[in-house]
């Protein structure tokens, strides 16, 4: 149950004895833009590098060690149209320790120190820390180009989305980053802390009264509640946008984006889940078996749903001279779903795989925390294994065929490699 | 069944060795939806020279054969094991390391049926020339993909420098040339030799309502099959210099990277086996490396502030049957500067401000917490505790082993390993435009 702590600040507790840990997260939510994504990404690095109480990485690491190897993570990402700044901590559930240490209080205090008492001098972040973290983020952005699979995925998104914010990677934009100063970032930080909607989530075996007292230490202030809807939509285009780049790599990467407006737990979502699982979402899917296994055309070939942005993305690693054959065979797989040309057995086992995947994820505290969070913004988010199972089993063959027919190819990105055996 | 109980965690590990020699371990986890089962053979990429079952002379087979066998076992005359698991919605996978090959599935229903599929597909080989030839294309793609990965190349260059002869120097998947030579006969031969039940263990963890019943399913499956009597397995490895004098001290490569990479490798010259001694060595080495190079290291912090290393920096100690080595490194603008700095810390560990009783106490406390937290993950439990280290030692003994480590123990380990004559360095540098 999501409890309102004050205007704009919420607490959601999932009581469970299943895990050996307690997981706390604090998420600050604001509308995403190219600028906010970049600033928040840099903030995650700067705030987790030092604070007034913990002057450097060593001081932070020592405190985490003293808290029995507590896990700590600060990161910024996008979910649809929202920018999320997230701090999470994982501690051993105190019942398993032979120690009287108050880990829960310490963990929450630690979150407070890093998030709310940053290392600031004269209305700007500590210049040494700021410069170093900015440079590291810059380097990180540059190095993404070295991982060709990620690089191709990012280029496809840049090509597919018409909105600048959606074209921007989770970690932000290199050009925006260059312009940010230590003063700008501190000004933005103050706005974020004062105005962002705050969602706190706890997963584990906790004493709720004590938790409320420990969280009160954070001294958060009330704030506004207004946010845009989480889902992103764009008009479909009649022309397919294509981009080919050439690089000296052995393996080519061919990625494609389709529009499919079946949003997270909204109308047609379950049918789209089954369709994607049949198409390329599981290792038994058509893309995997027919492109990779039967035709030996690709090392990997898969698809996934971007359910907050209404798209299906396909990614493959191929020999570059096979591009046209791979494109044709991928489209042929989609056509066979439209035609209903798949066996009842495959249809049923695909549904079982989705059910298996859903139930399995209930064993992960991180997933449970994330779904609790999603449910705040998308109330239809399903957390119950029984209801999810019923909904998946109810998806008809015809509904799946319709979803495949609704997919509209919008963009093709090809990273052409150097072939040893040109056709 | 033998029971190992842990009152602190409130959990129990059940163990049984079946008549045919197969070891079965069961670890029920209350509240979990999923069950994860992993069947492992003590056979991996380095086992290329051995005496085939029923024969007397050593043979040497092509590199990459253990991994090739792993891929090929899924495909049968009349079914594909992967698809068979899929009929129940279960997912399956497999992986090959230098010394082990594992097959696994995870499921939230039909545990008995899935266990039968797992045991049957791994124990009933089927290879033909046609299916073997087709696989060469798929694995060839895999090898090519890894060749594009700079971190992969860095790692293999380092171990290639440390081990001029030992097969650990070769990619687990083999090379395009070596896998081209693999025949169905060689795959059958490797299977007969290394997939004997007595060379294997099955670890099941997660939702297990009745351990006795699950064990009876496994027994029934095994009793219905005929196995030849267990035989000893003889492996052979090429000789390397006992003092490490054949180690190649340095190599550099140019690749299309934006930043350089630098890695230091250290070869362990002592064979610690695979039992408790090796496990203790692993625990000590991990504590030592965490002290000197972990998140709380002031010396690493200094290098970070100087811009000599970044978040990509990491270290690893690999200790498996017949080899053990350390690797440490990451991305940098100054490949030489980073490797020099790392070697300097290693050689002067005694003067390091991080090498202290107080820091060891913290590092041990973190290790205890991480050990307890790992019991959240079915994969972590099964993958760790199906390892050879735990043939004799109980997973629940690890806590005591961590607690007993002293700074004097770490000094002894450091004195044995941190010597320049058993180290190597590799740099990967950005290509210079022509």
Interface contact flag, A20 B373, Cβ < 8 Å: yes
Mean pLDDT of A401-406: 98
Q: What is the pLDDT of residues A150-196, one digit of tens each?
A: 999 999 999 999 999 999 999 999 999 999 999 999 999 999 999 99
Query: Is A12's pLDDT higher than 90?
Result: yes
- For residue B174, give both structure tokens: 């083999």
Interface contact flag, A58 B297, Cβ < 8 Å: yes
Q: Which residues lie across from A74 on neighbouring strands? A: A87
pLDDT of A2: 87
Name the pLDDT band for B354 (thresholds 50, 70, 90): very high
Query: Is A72's pLDDT higher than 90?
Result: yes
Q: What is the pLDDT of residues B199-238, one digit of tens each?
A: 999 999 999 999 999 999 999 999 999 998 888 999 999 9
Interface contact flag, B145 A385, Cβ < 8 Å: no
Surface of B (340-379) touching A: CB under 8 A: 362-363, 365-370, 372-373, 375-376, 378
CATH 3.30.830.10 fits B2-223, yes or no: yes
| Substitution target from B6, B32, B131, B296 for chain A, most A beta carbons within 10 A | B296
- Residue B70 among the catalytic residues: yes
pLDDT of A423: 40
Query: Is B256's pLDDT higher than 90?
Result: no
pLDDT of A284: 84
Query: Is B148's pLDDT higher than 90?
Result: no
Q: What is the pLDDT of residues A299-319, one digit of tens each?
A: 789 999 999 999 999 999 998
- Nearest chain B Cα distance for residue A143, angstroms: 6
- Name the segment(s) of chain B with CATH classification 3.30.830.10: 2-223, 250-430
Q: B145 CB near a chain A CB, below 8 Å?
A: yes
Closest chain A residue to B109, measured at CA: A356
- Nearest chain A Cα distance for residue B88, angstroms: 6
Tell me the H-state helices in B327-403.
335-347, 357-373, 378-385, 398-403
Closest chain B residue to A294, measured at CA: B134
Handedness of CA A257, A262, A268, A273 (dihedral sign): positive
Q: What is the mean pLDDT of chain A?
A: 94
pLDDT of B433: 64
Which residues in chain B are closer than 8 Å to A288, comparing Cβ atoms?
Answer: none
Query: Is B373's pLDDT higher than 50?
Result: yes
Q: What is the pLDDT of residues B266-313, one digit of tens each?
A: 999 999 999 999 999 999 999 999 999 999 999 999 998 898 998 899
Handedness of CA A16, A19, A22, A24 (dihedral sign): negative
Q: What is the pLDDT of residues B305-351, one digit of tens each?
A: 898 998 899 999 999 999 999 999 999 999 999 999 999 999 999 99
Q: Which residues of B337-375 are buried (b: 16+ CB within 10 A; e: fewer)?
A: bbbebbbebbeebeebebbeeebbebbbbbbbbbbbbbb
Interface contact flag, B297 A365, Cβ < 8 Å: no
Rg (CA), chain B: 23
Closest chain A residue to B293, measured at CA: A58
Which residues in chain A are closer than 8 Å to B134, comparing Cβ atoms?
Answer: 296
Q: What is the mean pLDDT of chain B?
A: 95
- For residue B399, give both structure tokens: 């806590």
Q: What is the pLDDT of residues B375-400, one digit of tens each?
A: 999 999 999 899 888 988 899 999 99
CATH 3.30.830.10 fits B250-430, yes or no: yes
Q: Which residues lie across from B104 on neighbouring strands? A: B38, B93
Contacts of residue A17, Cβ cutoff 8 Å, sequence gap at least 6? A205, B31
Q: B5 CB near a chain A CB, below 8 Å?
A: no
Closest chain B residue to A71, measured at CA: B370
Task: Identify the structural domains of chain A with CATH numbers, from first to last.
Answer: 2-216 (3.30.830.10), 241-416 (3.30.830.10)
**What is the number of residues in chain B?**
434
CA atoms within 13 A on the CB side of B80: 14
DSSP label at residue B431: P
Catalytic residue among B70, B75, B280, B290: B70
Whole-complex ipTM: 0.89
> Do residues B382 and B38 make contact, with C-beta atoms less than 8 angstroms apart?
yes
Q: What is the pLDDT of residues A40-62, one digit of tens each?
A: 999 999 999 999 999 998 999 99
Which residues in chain B are closer than 8 Å to A298, comparing Cβ atoms?
Answer: 141
Which residues in chain A are closer than 8 Å to B298, comparing Cβ atoms?
Answer: 58
Give the Cα separation of A154 and A144 in Å (integer): 9
Interface contact flag, B8 A96, Cβ < 8 Å: yes
Give the Cα separation of A340 and A343 in Å (integer): 8
Query: Is A335's pLDDT higher than 70?
Result: yes
Interface contact flag, B372 A92, Cβ < 8 Å: yes
Model pTM score:
0.90
Closest Cβ opposite residue A146 in set B82, B137, B150:
B150
- Nearest chain B Cα distance for residue A248, angstroms: 8
Handedness of CA A205, A211, A214, A220 (dihedral sign): positive
Tell me the H-state helices in B87-149.
111-123, 129-147
Q: How many CB pairs under 8 A join A and B?
A: 159
- Nearest chain B Cα distance for residue A177, angstroms: 18
Give the Cα separation of B330 and B93 in Å (integer): 30
Interface contact flag, A90 B373, Cβ < 8 Å: yes
- Nearest chain A Cα distance for residue B136, angstroms: 10
pLDDT of A422: 47
């Amino acid at each position: 149950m999501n409890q309102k702590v004050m205007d704009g600040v919420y607490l959601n507790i999932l009581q469970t004895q299943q895990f050996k840990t307690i997981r706390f997260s604090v998420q600050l939510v604001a509308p995403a833009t190219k600028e906010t994504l970049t600033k928040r990404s840099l903030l995650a690095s700067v705030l987790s590098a030092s604070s007034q109480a913990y002057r450097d990485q060593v001081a932070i690491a020592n405190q985490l060690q003293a808290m029995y190897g507590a896990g700590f993570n600060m990161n910024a990402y996008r979910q649809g149209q929202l920018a999320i700044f997230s701090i999470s901590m994982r501690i051993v559930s105190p019942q398993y320790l032979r120690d009287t240490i108050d880990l829960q209080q310490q963990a929450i205090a630690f979150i407070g120190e890093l998030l709310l008492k940053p290392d600031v001098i004269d209305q700007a972040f500590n210049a040494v820390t700021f410069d170093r973290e900015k440079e590291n983020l810059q380097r990180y952005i540059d190095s993404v180009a070295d991982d060709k699979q990620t690089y191709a995925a990012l280029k496809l998104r840049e090509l597919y989305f018409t909105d600048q914010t959606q074209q921007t990677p989770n970690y932000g934009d290199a050009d925006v980053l260059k312009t940010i100063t230590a003063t700008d970032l501190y000004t933005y930080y103050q706005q974020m802390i004062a105005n962002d909607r705050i969602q706190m989530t706890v997963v584990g075996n906790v004493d709720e009264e004590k938790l409320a007292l420990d969280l009160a230490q954070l001294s958060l202030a009330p704030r506004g509640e207004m946010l845009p809807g989480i889902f992103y939509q764009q008009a479909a285009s009649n022309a397919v946008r294509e981009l080919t780049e050439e690089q000296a790599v052995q393996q080519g990467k061919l990625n494609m984006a389709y529009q499919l407006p079946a949003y997270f737990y909204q109308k047609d979502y379950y049918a789209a889940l089954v369709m994607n699982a049949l198409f390329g979402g599981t290792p038994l899917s058509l893309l995997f078996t027919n492109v990779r296994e039967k035709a030996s055309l690709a090392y990997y070939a898969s698809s996934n749903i971007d359910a907050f942005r209404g798209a299906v993305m396909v990614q493959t690693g191929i020999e570059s001279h096979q591009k046209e054959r791979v494109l044709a065979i991928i489209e042929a797989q989609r056509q066979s779903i439209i035609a209903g040309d798949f066996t009842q057995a495959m249809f049923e086992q695909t549904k079982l795989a989705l059910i298996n995947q859903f139930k399995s994820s209930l064993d992960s505290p991180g997933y449970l925390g994330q779904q609790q969070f999603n449910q705040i913004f998308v109330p239809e988010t399903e957390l119950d294994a029984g209801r999810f199972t019923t909904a998946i089993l109810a998806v008809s063959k015809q509904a799946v065929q319709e979803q495949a027919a609704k997919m509209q190819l919008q963009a093709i990105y090809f990273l052409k490699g150097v072939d040893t055996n040109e056709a | 069944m033998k029971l190992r109980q842990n009152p602190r965690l409130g959990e129990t590990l059940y163990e049984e060795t079946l008549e045919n020699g197969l070891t079965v371990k069961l670890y029920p986890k209350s509240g979990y939806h999923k069950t994860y089962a992993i069947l492992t053979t003590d056979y991996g990429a380095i086992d290329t020279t051995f005496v085939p079952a029923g024969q007397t002379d050593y043979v040497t087979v092509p590199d990459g054969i253990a991994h090739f066998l792993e891929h090929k076992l899924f495909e049968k005359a009349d079914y594909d094991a992967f698809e068979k698991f899929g009929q129940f919605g279960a997912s399956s996978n497999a992986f090959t390391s230098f010394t082990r090959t594992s097959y696994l599935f995870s499921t939230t229903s039909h545990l008995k049926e899935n266990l039968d599929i797992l045991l049957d597909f791994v124990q009933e080989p089927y290879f033909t020339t046609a299916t073997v030839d087709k696989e060469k294309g798929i694995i060839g793609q895999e090898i090519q993909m890894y060749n594009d990965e700079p971190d992969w190349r860095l790692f293999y260059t380092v171990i290639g420098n440390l081990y001029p002869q030992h097969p650990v120097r070769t990619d687990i998947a083999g090379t395009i040339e070596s896998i081209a030579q693999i025949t169905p006969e060689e795959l059958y031969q490797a299977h007969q030799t290394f997939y004997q039940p007595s060379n294997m263990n099955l670890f099941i963890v997660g939702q297990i309502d009745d351990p006795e019943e699950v064990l009876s399913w496994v027994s029934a499956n095994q009793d219905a099959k005929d196995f030849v009597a267990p035989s000893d397995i003889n492996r052979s490895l090429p000789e390397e210099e006992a003092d490490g004098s054949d180690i190649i001290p340095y190599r550099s490569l140019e690749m299309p990277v934006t930043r350089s990479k630098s890695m230091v490798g250290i070869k362990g010259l002592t064979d610690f086996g695979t039992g408790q001694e090796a496990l203790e060595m692993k625990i000590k080495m991990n504590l030592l490396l965490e002290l000197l190079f972990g998140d709380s290291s002031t010396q690493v912090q200094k290098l970070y502030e100087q811009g000599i290393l970044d978040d990509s920096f990491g270290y690893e100690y690999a200790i498996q049957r017949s080899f053990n080595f350390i690797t440490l490194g990451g991305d940098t603008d100054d490949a030489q500067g980073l490797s020099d700095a790392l070697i300097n810390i290693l050689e002067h560990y005694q003067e390091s401000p991080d090498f202290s009783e107080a820091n060891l106490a913290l590092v041990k406390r973190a290790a205890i917490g991480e050990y307890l937290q790992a019991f959240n993950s079915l994969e972590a439990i099964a993958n760790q505790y199906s390892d050879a280290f735990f043939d004799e030692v109980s997973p629940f003994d690890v806590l005591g082993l961590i607690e007993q480590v002293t700074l004097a123990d770490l000094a002894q380990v450091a004195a044995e390993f941190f010597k320049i004559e058993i180290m190597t360095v590799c740099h990967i540098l950005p290509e210079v435009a022509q």
